[in-house]
Structure 1
């Protein structure tokens, strides 16, 4: 089997379509199918900050839930949107406000449909995806080797938010340990969450969040080939969003 793991989309719907084209997918009734039967895998944060989060939800839902030709794991933004849809008291900030604005502009019937789609998508997803056919694990913010196989709270926090210390940088960014430096497993760990200018490969890990929503590019990592495909972003470039590992 062959897989295309897609980095953080964040509502960049047009770029996602362009990426599927560059990856060689063909459309049937609007759904991408690859002639080589490749499987797309979304590594979380499909919404927020970008211009078309609702269309992205529709698209990913159809691929994963209706046609069952793709896979999805949640990210921290997905978790927050899920809690919003459940009626929990969450802060409408840090990008969620863009998705909520789109959502609130819809008719009541359409709102009910989108909410149902996203809740179903989120609830059926595993916290992280094991793909033994290509010796890989897809986890939104990564995963330590000792956490693989676990689904407890510690693992969930790591997978959704990274190896956070509980402290913050001066600019408000959460302080994170660079866990990939200490990973020595033989399975690929494919993740995103922290935007980087270029896909960052350390040991047998690769960060493919190349900050499409911040004006850089949208990237996919292909397995078993271990190759990268990327398309340029159509969003304004924001330099300060790419400083974490620089």
Structure 2
């Protein structure tokens, strides 16, 4: 299904990184950003709109609750959403396709299987219908802002094809892995020269850092880092601390990635 990636919305926005089932931190961050809870959803009294950069589920403790909240906010015109690779994998699972239940998906599937048959059918239909109306990236504010999960090269902006779709979900992957088995990615942001601000997630980093008008806002909440949001157009960053146990190995990788980018920036 092809989606028009342009949305005639100029903001203001609050762009939030990977949530991964951290519903508690999401609720705290929304309150910090000034959103008010109403009828099980959140809205901003000044008309600001949340943008989720995907990966709502997997690894965290409240995956379905997080998904339901974002769906509710989008359907009530209080949020926008681009799907991430974890969202895509769960979508394929619900379609009945064969996927590996790893990398945190097992927790999401466990929550799903604890529902009654009727609840499972309702949730499955709701999620599939919602997902199929969304995009792998959105172009906003008359082309001045692009939001995406894994990143997007300048040459791919405006395109909707399998290569662009894969890049938006996974970043610029090389097909190789490091000694710990993690995918090795090219740093596309270093070569970006476009006028549009690109805000993305996917690769957890210790602190947000601007590179050529791009910003990675995934601060590794599910690994014990932070959940962060970029306020647009103000370019103000708001974070809340994770309540999750610290994953020492992941936090070391996040620090290393930050130091690498700081040196080269």
Q: Say if 1:129 and 1:139, in contact at 8 Å, map to a contact too.
A: yes
Q: Say if 2:223 and 2:245, in contact at 8 Å, map to a contact too.
A: yes
Cα shift at 1:134 = 7.5
Q: Are residues 1:24 and 2:22 paired?
A: no
Query: Secondary structure at 1:124's aligned position in 2?
Result: coil
Residue of 139, 147, 152 corresponding to 1:138: 147
Residue of structure 2 in register with 1:158 after alignment: 167
RMSD, aligned α-carbons? 1.1
Residue of structure 2 in register with 1:48 after alignment: 58
Cα shift at 1:122 = 1.0
Cα shift at 1:150 = 0.6
> Counterparts of 1:1-246 in structure 2 under 5 Å?
1-65=11-75, 67-133=76-142, 135-242=144-251, 243=253, 245=257, 246=259
Distance 1:239 1:137 in 2: 32
Cα shift at 1:179 = 0.8
Distance 2:202 2:132 in 1: 20
Distance 1:210 1:227 in 2: 15
Query: Secondary structure at 2:169's aligned position in 1?
Result: helix
Distance 1:194 1:147 in 2: 19
Q: Say if 1:189 and 1:205, in contact at 8 Å, map to a contact too.
A: yes
Cα shift at 1:184 = 1.0
Q: List runs of 5+ in structure 2 lacking aligned partners.
A: 1-10, 260-265
Residue of structure 1 in register with 2:4 after alignment: none
Q: List runs of 5+ in structure 1 lacking aligned partners.
A: none
State the aligned residue count: 245
The alpha-carbon distance between structure 1 residues 116 and 235, as it changes in their structure 2 partners (threshold 3 A), is: same
Normalising by structure 2, we get a TM-score of 0.90
Normalising by structure 1, we get a TM-score of 0.97
The alpha-carbon distance between structure 1 residues 96 and 175, as it changes in their structure 2 partners (threshold 3 A), is: same
Moved over 3 A (4+): none
Distance 1:113 1:198 in 2: 39
Cα shift at 1:133 = 4.9
Residue of structure 1 in register with 2:3 after alignment: none
